[in-house]
């Protein structure tokens, strides 16, 4: 059985809703044909509906992308490490993220994420972290378009993380940036020169707005993607 209990930062999340709910919550249209079903245990390299700016129409649209960013300058996809997270503190310094931060920001829809907390006996307890109001939210994301030497195109994304609030540090030292709803438009549309504004947004939702629930260890395997993965114990 493949396990992902020792994931770094944000390595698993859930989007347990229908595509129509994503479209309604984020006021977005489908930019391409895609199939989607509720996801209870999203893992890296999987295809997901990501929200980007349609620059020609100045609107939002959904685009399917793989989780794990491949920078456009990578020559060989097979030798590139998939970048599932980007640290907010260094997002403007790392070559893999600089251009995407300025030109390719995105919203990653979710309704919760998973973390694994180390217990006294050394075991890992899976936790599901959600908003107290149970509303859909968006992670702050970056995306890029990789093109192979044969012309093969692949769209990929990463989720930005930040230092965890004090309440969450016993769980993990870092947490994904969950955007405040009123910050989503600024994040996806704001001009290239507004770096300070964009960096300020990455403070994200406070841990006081979140709830933590222990869940079944079945979430440890990426092959399990059913409602039991998010059911509180």
Catalogue the active-site residues.
Answer: 10, 115
DSSP summary character for residue 203: T
CA distance 44 to 102: 24
C-alpha distances in Å from residue 129, one per residue of 42, 94, 104, 122: 14, 28, 27, 21
Judging by DSSP bridges, how do beta strands 59-67 and 29-30 pair with one another? parallel
CA distance 56 to 54: 6
Q: Are 111 and 137 within 8 A, CB to CB?
A: yes
DSSP summary character for residue 82: P
Q: Which helix (H) or strand (E) holds 100?
A: helix 95-103
For 122, the 3-state DSSP assignment is: coil
Q: Identify the CA nearest to 136 among candidates 112, 107, 105, 162.
A: 112
Q: Are 9 and 116 within 8 A, CB to CB?
A: no
């Amino acid at each position: 059985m493949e396990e992902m209990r020792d994931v770094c930062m944000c390595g698993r999340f859930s989007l347990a809703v229908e595509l129509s709910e994503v479209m309604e919550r984020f006021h977005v249209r489908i930019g391409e044909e895609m199939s989607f079903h509720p996801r209870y245990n999203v893992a890296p390299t999987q295809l997901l509906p990501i929200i980007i700016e349609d620059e020609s129409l100045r609107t939002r649209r959904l685009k399917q992308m793989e989780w794990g960013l491949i920078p456009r300058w990578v020559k060989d996809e097979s030798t590139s490490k998939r970048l599932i997270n980007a640290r907010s503190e260094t997002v403007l310094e790392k070559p893999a993220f600089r251009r995407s931060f300025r030109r390719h920001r995105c919203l990653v829809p979710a309704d919760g994420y998973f973390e694994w907390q180390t217990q006294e006996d050394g075991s890992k307890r899976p936790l599901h972290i959600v908003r107290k109001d149970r509303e859909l939210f968006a992670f702050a994301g970056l995306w890029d378009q990789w093109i192979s030497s044969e012309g093969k195109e692949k769209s990929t994304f990463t989720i930005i993380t930040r230092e965890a609030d004090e309440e969450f540090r016993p769980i993990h030292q870092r947490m994904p940036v969950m955007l405040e709803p009123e910050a989503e438009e600024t994040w996806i549309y704001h001009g290239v020169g507004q770096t300070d504004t964009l960096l300020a947004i990455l403070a994200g939702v406070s841990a006081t707005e979140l709830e933590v629930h222990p869940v079944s260890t079945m979430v440890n395997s990426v092959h399990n993607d059913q409602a039991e993965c998010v059911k509180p114990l």
